[in-house]
Structure 1
């Protein structure tokens, strides 16, 4: 894998790293990102940093997501980024026809570990279907009155 832009609606600059230690120890400079990140159709890309493997033995990928443009210092679970990652996985790994269930862990460094289930179906050498899922836990609630 090499750094590349992928989207499933929201553009991400996907940056592969060598291992979990490199992902864990990286410093993200939001100000620098806002000044230098690429634009896609006028939208600033968000950063999705990932590597193979995981803290959880079942995880195939370990990731972190940053989007200072959207006011997100770091996100513990990003479904749209996992969906974008499906394109990179298919492209760089050369997946053959079949069904690929993959677990992506995110939020570990924030102490809010999340498991995102990505399921990809490849048919005739193309992604015919990609689905994301997982479980959510309410961490806050509130009301808004006008």
Structure 2
């Protein structure tokens, strides 16, 4: 029997982390997949990426992005879904298996690894932001004498 469902925000967070992760990093979290059946074999397609004017305005379509999705069921009956960037079928399958495992008792062993992955992703984001901030140019306007 599957364990009680995790809080929605917690599940959303680990699904988001797996979707953004590199395939090799996720493979280090779970090198060997447990027994499972495919509900939806890995399939690749496109999704529309949207943006917002000034981050708060009306949404608009930016471009399409390639994603791969997969759904699995573990032998205990727990269902997991994986959606990842790119065309890696094994990455989507592994993400779906981890999603299913995180809804069972195996979550206790996987949670520290996913937290480490999140910390690595946060450190990379901070480093990228620091590099971008170093190139920032401050513009200012001088008042000319004849304009006064």
Q: Tell whether the structures are fold-level matches, with TM greater than 0.5.
A: no
Higher relative contact order, chain-length normalized (CA < 8 Å, sep 6+): 2
Q: Which has the higher helix share?
A: 2
Given the two structures, how large is their TM-score scaled by the length of structure 2?
Answer: 0.26
Structure (1 or 2) with the larger CA radius of gyration: 2
Q: Which has the higher strand share?
A: 1
Given the two structures, how large is their TM-score scaled by the length of structure 1?
Answer: 0.26
